[in-house]
Every structure is written in C-alpha cells, then in structure tokens.
Structure 1
Amino acid sequence: MSAAFYGSNGVTTGLATTLIDGDLRLEQFADAHVEGLRAACAEDQDIWPIYPFSMIGEHFDPSLARLRSFPNWQLFAVLDGGRVAGMTGYIYIDEPSHALEIGATYIAPRVRGSGFNRRMKTLMIDHAIEVGFKRIEFRVDTRNERSMAAVMKLGARHEGTLRQNRKTWTGYVRDTAIYSLLAHEWTASSTAG
C-alpha cells in the first residue's frame, strides 16, 4: 500500500482526509463537531437500543470519548450542507492485511431514505480502495434490518452471523451479521453501470 502509512496516532494517514460529494461532507471528527453531533443523535431517541452504545442524554459524552480513544480508528463527522447529520468511521483498520471496517455509523432521520447513506458509503469505499485497502467489512446488529438492507444494496456479501457475540449498553446480547466487500467486486459493480 504505497499511498498510505501510519501516522503518530496509529491511523493510516491516507484515510485521514476530507471526503466531499456536493452537500455531503465527511470531515475528520473534531471538537467543533461535538454539539452538532449531540443534536443529531437526539433526533432519533428510539434507535439507540439497537446500537452497542448510546449517544443520547448522559451516555453521549462517555460514549463519544470512548469512540475517540481508539487509536486505530478514523472517525468522521457527517455533514449535510454544513450541518452535522451524524458520524461514521473507518474502524478496526488492519493495514498489513489491507482490511478495515466501516462502522460507528449514525445518520439523523432527516437524511435517511434520500440516498445520503449510499453517497456517504460510496465516498468511503472509493477512498479506502484508492489508498490500497482490498477488504471492507460491515458488522450489523441483526435487529437492524434497515442497515443490513443498505449494506446489501452496496453489493456487500453476507459472510455469516456471529451468534450472541456482543453485549450492548442495554444489556442485550446481540447477534452480529458480517458483510464484506472486496475491492475488485466494488470496481466491477461501480463500472457496470
């Protein structure tokens, strides 16, 4: 992987960039995004029980601090026309294996169902492949049918389900569906039309 290398924080520096598609902008998460994210997360109080962590009320600050503490994660603020609409990231980056996961994703209801998520994921997948990653993973709580359907629409393949593998913040022990997308599959599907 010639275009990417590890920076001082352990993140592959080729991943740490700003990604733009019209009014959609992914910026490296910074302190300036915190209050906008807090507001965006509060827009959907009902979704958080199917996340492994909560980003509402008193849970917001400790959860965000924990997410920001992982040294091999590249978190992004997701902006819609300059307004924070959520977060996402390259997580569990395994540079020697040319693999990473796209996760820690939340987008506000106001942008769901508009193609916004697909545009966001397309930016991220294109960029990861451009800097040399060959395998992109997605891990989804099996209760989150909307997210599983969105990942499948990207062309990712369901590789299996880890049964009762992760305890969520509510105490529920979830099943996790694992999907993958290989660079050559994405290239083939994106050039096919």
Structure 2
Amino acid sequence: MSALETVLVDGDVHLEPLAAHHIELLRAACARDPDIWEIYPVSMLGEHFDRAMEDFHATTNWVRFAVLHRGVLVGMSCYIAPDESNHVVEIGGTYIEPAARGSAGVNSAIKRLMIDHAFACGFTRIEFRVDSRNLRSQAAVRKLGAMHEGTLRRNRITWTGYVRDTCMFGLLKTEWSGGRG
C-alpha cells in the first residue's frame, strides 16, 4: 500500500497524501457544495466533517489524497482497499468542489494519475462504486473506459438513511487507453 502513497502531478493538478495541513482547506472546499452531500454515502458538511475525518483515518486500508488545482485545494480522492494479492484496487471517496468540476478537467486528470499509478504499482484491475443517482459520476467513469459490470441493489445505507443502489464499474489494465477516449 505504501507504493500507492506518493505525490502525483499532471500539469495544474497535484495529488498529495492527505495531511493535517490540508484538513481545514478540505473542510472549506466541502462546504462550497452543500447539495452534493445528499447523494454521498457520508457527509463532509458542517458538523459531519470532523466525524467523517475521524472515520476516514480509523480506516487503515485507504490511501487518501488532497487534490490541488493551480495550488488551491479543491477536493480529495482515495485508493480504497488495495488488494495486492489479487491486483485489485478501488478508486473512490472523490469530491471536487463545483468551480473545479467539468471543463477544468480536474476529475479526469485525477483519475488518469491514479489509474496510471495503480497500474504502474502492479494492480491490473481498478474498481469504481457509484451511487445509481449520481449520473455525473457514472458518465465520468464511463468516459475513462470503465465498464458497467452490474448494480448492487439496496446495498448501502447512506448517512441520510437512504438505501442506495450501487453501480459497479471495472477497468482492466489491458483496456486502459489513458482516459483520452
């Protein structure tokens, strides 16, 4: 897992292992989109932020990154549960503040960096789990070349009490074209 935890750079997008000096900046970035948290499994808004950070740090099988765009912290993303024996890792826990979404290309740069790095570290399969209501994230994952492999029905209870369906996507190293189409 330690090989996954490094600084990754693509132009104006930098991923840095999440550290104490990022926390208040991340809190502010999360607060810039109060509506998005309704479709996330956990809330990182207001009074929920500190608990989410405690839970993230209590989970030892995640590699967390602060996402910086042009030197400004705009979100986070994670490698989740790297399974080195089966060469599988999930990319998730991604949040990007509204100003850095879409045309800025931040999400695609994040995912390219993380996918390229995971494959370079010997992983051969990347997984993405997306709430079925999150159409924007599903489209972004498909654009990377990931295949929808099925939907887990009513498999997770979110922080709001909503029982969500989770779309499962997979991307194999042999299928990866660099996320550019």
Q: TM-score, normalised by structure 1?
A: 0.91
* Identity among equivalent pairs (%): 59
C-alpha change, 1:46 and 1:133, in structure 2 (3 Å) is: same
CA contact (8 A) 1:91 1:102 kept: yes
CA contact (8 A) 1:38 1:55 kept: yes
Structure 2: tracts of 5 or more residues without a match: none
Q: Aligned pair 1:173/2:163, yes or no?
A: yes
What SS does the corresponding residue of 1:129 show, helix, strand or coil?
Answer: helix
Q: Aligned pair 1:158/2:148, yes or no?
A: yes
Q: Which residue of 1 aligns with 2:178?
A: 190
CA contact (8 A) 2:112 2:178 kept: no
Q: Which residue of 2 aligns with 1:6?
A: none
CA contact (8 A) 1:68 1:75 kept: no
Once residues 94 and 127 of structure 1 are traced to their aligned partners in structure 2, the CA distance between those partners, rounded to angstroms, is 15
Q: Which residue of 2 aligns with 1:134?
A: 124
Aligned partner of 1:58 among 34, 47, 68:
47
List per-residue Cα deviations over 1:72-123 (Å, max 9, x = no partner): 1100000111211001010011111000000010000011012110011000
Aligned partner of 1:28 among 4, 9, 17:
17
Once residues 24 and 61 of structure 2 are traced to their aligned partners in structure 1, the CA distance between those partners, rounded to angstroms, is 24
C-alpha change, 1:184 and 1:52, in structure 2 (3 Å) is: same
Letter of the structure 2 residue corresponding to residue 103 of structure 1: G
**Counterpart mapping for 1:33-44 below 5 A:** 33-44=22-33
Once residues 179 and 64 of structure 2 are traced to their aligned partners in structure 1, the CA distance between those partners, rounded to angstroms, is 28
Q: Aligned pair 1:82/2:83, yes or no?
A: no
Q: How many residues align?
A: 180
Letter of the structure 1 residue corresponding to residue 58 of structure 2: S
Letter of the structure 2 residue corresponding to residue 94 of structure 1: D
What SS does the corresponding residue of 1:33 show, helix, strand or coil?
Answer: helix
Shift of 1:192: 8.8
CA contact (8 A) 2:148 2:169 kept: yes
List per-residue Cα deviations over 1:61-81 (Å, max 9, x = no partner): 001111122111100000111
Once residues 69 and 18 of structure 2 are traced to their aligned partners in structure 1, the CA distance between those partners, rounded to angstroms, is 14
Shift of 1:190: 3.2
Instruction: Give the superposed CA RMSD.
Output: 1.3
